[in-house]
Amino acid sequence: MKNRLLHGNGFVYVFFLLVISASGEPQDITTPVASLIEPRSEPARRAPLEETLKKSPSRQKQLPIPTPPPDPEKVILCVVDNRRLTRAQVERILTRMLKDKNGSPEFIERLRLVYTQNIMKEWLERNLLAAEAEREGISVTNEEVVKQEQALKQTAGISVDINSTLTKIGESKEEYLRQMRDAIMGEKLIKHRISTYYTEDTLRAIYERAPAAFQRPPRARVSHVFCPITGNETSADKKARRAFMEMAKREAKNGADLSKVAESADPSFNAIGGDMGWFYPDNRLPRPINELVFKLGKVGEVSDVEETEYGYYVIRLEEKQPLMGKTYEGAREVVMDTVFEEVRQKVLDSSMKNHKIFINIIGVPADRLK
């Protein structure tokens, strides 16, 4: 699949051909560039532009007529059936990706090329898998979208307001939800196709070759509020922080959003809070907190205010999972993950013949697409 997508700097070569053929007369592409420039005598080089043009009327015809650039919303870079990726969509993503990049103009331009290729590749593969899933009648429910959204937040360890963030980056909620649905449909398609390439006996054999490789230790997902201390606080300062954390503990027991609880603290406390994601027994947390996480027994249970050398913690257990993978049945999902990318590539390759696909890194006006 990769060798059918974007071929390095091939578009630069195409662009060069477009420039040298601007006169409307075809050029031999094997002709060296230097030979395309007609030698002129020294007096001719010094002659006024008007006189030179009068003596060379053919050159007047070769001057391109300036035309306004096409609307980026109407320039198409990729097509999968009735799905289209426009230049404007890519530019919006590039603007965000290049915002804090520094370097020479040449470096930034190379970066734009690499990012553009990556954006197009990701878009093409995601939409091709989604189109193939639709062809096979695979659908996605609203509940699946919400669950996937929550899983992404947990993996990233963030808590954000989706609507306000979408407005800030200039994306619509409709496009966001469509991309989520497409990604879920693609994943469901690949998991369904795994059985086409791997029988249950084959998957079991993969597990039995190295069972320990497919075991996952127990893990817990927690939310927290953390109020740091530096050691320079007065007793009154520490008392105020402790009082805030006792309040945070009560709010945690009531099911409050701990990121908002942290935001309500005195700004001088520098408190932070929210979903911390999944943790294994051997993790980056301070030892007392690490031990505390795995002492919490029931989902929703909240710890006491715990003081460490770094500050005060309150922990709430959101989810807990035991050791997995002692048997093939318990490790089956992990075994499937090991063959996922291989099957994904096979599905992409086999799906291309079933759909109308167009790729052009320069872009083509929508009205020229058939």
% of the chain residues with pLDDT over 70: 78
Q: How far apart are CA 151 and CA 143, in angstroms?
A: 12
Give the residue from 321, 340, 358 where a domain finishes. 321
pLDDT of 101 strictly over 60? yes
| Residue 327 within any structural domain of the chain | no
The H or E element containing residue 320 is strand 311-321
Which pLDDT score is estimated for 161? 67
Of the candidates 228, 245, 258, the one whose C-alpha atom is nearest the C-alpha of residue 318 is 258
Which pLDDT score is estimated for 297? 87
CATH number of the structural domain spanning residue 241:
3.10.50.40
pLDDT band for 62, please (50, 70, 90 cuts): low
Q: Which of 137-141, 267-271, 321-325, 340-344 has the lowest mean pLDDT?
A: 321-325
**Phi, psi at residue 96, to the nearest 5°?**
-70, -40
Question: What is the secondary structure of 156-196 as a DSSP string?
Answer: HT----HHHHHHHHT--HHHHHHHHHHHHHHHHHHHHHHHH
CA 60 to the chain's CA centroid: 49
Select the more confidently predicted residue: 118 or 27: 118
User: What is the count of structural domains for the chain?
Assistant: 2
| Residue 180 within any structural domain of the chain | yes
Which pLDDT score is estimated for 293? 87
- Strands of 357-365's sheet in order across: 83-86, 75-80, 357-365
Q: Both 199 and 279 in a single domain?
A: no
Q: Both 160 and 172 in a single domain?
A: yes
Q: Both 111 and 168 in a single domain?
A: yes
Q: Both 254 and 146 in a single domain?
A: no
SS3 state of residue 335: helix
| Average pLDDT score, the chain | 79
Which pLDDT score is estimated for 335? 93
pLDDT of 11 strictly over 80? no
Which pLDDT score is estimated for 184? 93
Mean pLDDT across the stretch 95-114? 89
pLDDT of 93 strictly over 70? yes
pLDDT of 92 strictly over 70? yes
pLDDT band for 37, please (50, 70, 90 cuts): very low
203-207, long-range: CB within 8 Å, 24+ apart, which pairs?
203/328, 203/332, 203/335, 203/336, 203/339, 204/328, 206/335, 206/338, 206/339, 207/328, 207/331, 207/332, 207/335
Q: Both 305 and 341 in a single domain?
A: no
pLDDT of 2 strictly over 80? no
pLDDT band for 245, please (50, 70, 90 cuts): very high
CB atoms within 10 A of CB 229: 18
pLDDT of 50 strictly over 60? no
Q: How far apart are CA 223 and CA 316, in angstroms?
A: 5
Select the more confidently predicted residue: 154 or 26: 154
Q: Both 181 and 309 in a single domain?
A: no
Q: Both 165 and 60 in a single domain?
A: yes
Q: Both 53 and 155 in a single domain?
A: yes
Which pLDDT score is estimated for 200? 94
Which pLDDT score is estimated for 268? 92
Q: Give the range of the structural domain holding residue 194, as residue numbers without chain letter.
A: 1-216+332-370
CATH number of the structural domain spanning residue 56:
1.10.4030.10
Cα Rg of the chain (Å, integer): 30
**Phi, psi at residue 274, to the nearest 5°?**
130, -170
| Residue 342 within any structural domain of the chain | yes
Q: Both 88 and 204 in a single domain?
A: yes
Strand partners, 79: 84, 358
% of the chain residues with pLDDT over 90: 47
Q: Both 211 and 256 in a single domain?
A: no
Residues 336-369 have pLDDT tens digits of 999 999 999 999 999 999 999 988 887 777 776 6
| pTM of the model as a whole | 0.62
| Residue 326 within any structural domain of the chain | no
Which pLDDT score is estimated for 14? 22
Residues 190-241 have pLDDT tens digits of 999 999 999 999 999 999 999 999 988 888 999 999 999 988 899 999 999 9
Q: Both 168 and 144 in a single domain?
A: yes
| Residue 298 within any structural domain of the chain | yes
pLDDT of 12 strictly over 70? no
* Cβ-Cβ contacts under 8 Å for 2 (sequence gap 6 or more): 121
Q: Both 47 and 171 in a single domain?
A: yes
Select the more confidently predicted residue: 21 or 335: 335
Which pLDDT score is estimated for 7? 31
